[in-house]
Amino acid sequence: MLGGSFLLALLRNTISAGLMLSFFLMLDRPRFSMKKTIGCYIVFGIFLITAYSLWYLHGNKSFVQYAAMSTLLFIGIFCSLMSGDVLYLSLYKMALAFYLFSVSTFCGVDVARWGFDGNALVDLVVRFVCSAVILTVTWKKFRRQFLSGVDFLIDEMDMFSAVTLFVSVMLGAIMAYWPNLQGFSIFNMVRAFLILFMAGVLQYVILHLYIHLGQEHYYQAEKELLEANEQLLRQQMELMKESEKEAARIRHDVRHHTLLIKEYVSKGEFQGLLDYLEEYGADVVNWKAEDVCMNRAVNSILCAYARKARSQGICVSMDVRVVEGLPVRDIDWVAILANVFENAIHGCGSSGCPVQEIRIYIAQKGNKIMIQCCNTSAPVSFHKGLPQSDKGGGTGVFSIVKAASRYEGETDFTMEDGMFMTRILLNLPAGISGKTA
């Protein structure tokens, strides 16, 4: 610290707090509305700046020793409470904000001591310029890139990796306040600069690594989804071909039916004609394709996979109560139902049980859709609540979870009495009821 009047301290605190709060808010998805969030940030910033300026006025020595680290604590708690993101992502953003604050402080203090004999006004100007450059670059370049990849970060990062990044960035930032570096020398200045530079490069590379890994997993899941969709379309084509063959057979038999009806009429055997027509009507009903619900996408997916399961000797029962016109994309129905059914078929096949069954229940209640699948299965291992495949992969489960997350949904996978249970809850926009016909 270069000291200075109370007014200079007030301006320095304003620049520092403004940098950290503004940087965090630019990269955040707030818990509340933006108007309310900005208001809370302004009130908190004014309170913080006032409190720290009074601290500087009445306890200069303790302020120099503890102000920077205590700022991280107080601003970190406030920003985490205001953020709508997970805790470990807030920790990472707070570490970045403190790192940039440290860079600004380092540049201001050392430039002022290097060429201007420790002039406090130069320190203030350099800090302001650094903060302005950082916030401008963040808003125009880094913000869009970060927010577009934040979902990938959430998917790939966990608390351990976030804490590791937090510690690595903090170690570099703290070097700006290390006691041995407080005395000015070219060596200390170069050493602090290199430490801050390497810490910044390290976290930036790791950030891109996490985003890249998340994108790779996302594209892999999309590929699996497209393959499942293609498989479903092939099965639908097979059903259509069989329907065409059945229709051709019916047309061929119509001639014989017509001749027989004429024979009954010519002989006046009307009771025999009525009996024959009843048998014919029952036969026509049996030709009707399976229809499990009014939603065409759901019906097509379930019928195709039920036919596949039954061809393998698996008993399938379905209770489906969803209507047409729901705001769920067909490709998301494929991602959820096709993967659920496919996993259920694999589970039955690997169970080794003589009697294998799949039970599916889907219902809509208000703006929620509940999906439950129960199938015969061998014991399954779980990791973080998700089933692990012995053959590796697990992209089917990932596709289910990802598709459900688009509707702020929840997924649950459990084993109960030798049966594997998949439960999915989708939240639709309020007031959605679909079409009843």
Domain boundaries, the chain: 6-222, 231-287, 296-427
CA–CA distance, 157 with 229 (Å, rounded to integer) = 30
Which of 161, 164, 166, 188 has the alpha carbon at shortest distance from 177?
188
Residue position matching structure tokens 């860079």:
103
CA–CA distance, 197 with 282 (Å, rounded to integer) = 81
CA–CA distance, 326 with 257 (Å, rounded to integer) = 43
The third-level CATH classification (topology) of the domain covering 296-427 is: Heat Shock Protein 90 (3.30.565)
Structure tokens that stand for 400 in this block: 């289910």
Q: What is the pTM of this model?
A: 0.57
Structure tokens that stand for 9 in this block: 């301290």
CA–CA distance, 314 with 308 (Å, rounded to integer) = 9
Q: What Cα–Cα distance (Å) separates residue 136 from each residue in 83, 122, 142, 149?
A: 22, 21, 9, 20
Which pLDDT score is estimated for 427? 92
Q: What is the DSSP letter of 83?
A: B
Structure tokens that stand for 150 in this block: 């934040």
Which pLDDT score is estimated for 45? 94
Which pLDDT score is estimated for 238? 67
CA angle 292, 295, 301 (to 5 degrees): 65
Taking residue 334's Cβ as centre, other Cβ atoms within 10 Å add up to: 23
Which pLDDT score is estimated for 411? 93
Structure tokens that stand for 276 in this block: 């024959």
Give me the average pLDDT of each 10-residue run along the chain (437 residues): 74 92 93 92 94 87 81 90 86 84 84 80 91 93 82 70 70 59 64 75 76 75 70 64 64 71 77 74 58 84 86 93 88 86 90 92 92 93 79 68 88 91 90 51
CA–CA distance, 218 with 335 (Å, rounded to integer) = 13
DSSP SS3 for 119: coil
CA–CA distance, 35 with 309 (Å, rounded to integer) = 54
Which pLDDT score is estimated for 437? 37
Q: 118 Cβ partners below 8 Å, 6+ apart?
A: 2, 112
Which pLDDT score is estimated for 103? 85
Which pLDDT score is estimated for 436? 43
Taking residue 72's Cβ as centre, other Cβ atoms within 10 Å add up to: 19
Which of 317, 319, 390 has the alpha carbon at shortest distance from 349?
390
DSSP SS3 for 428: coil
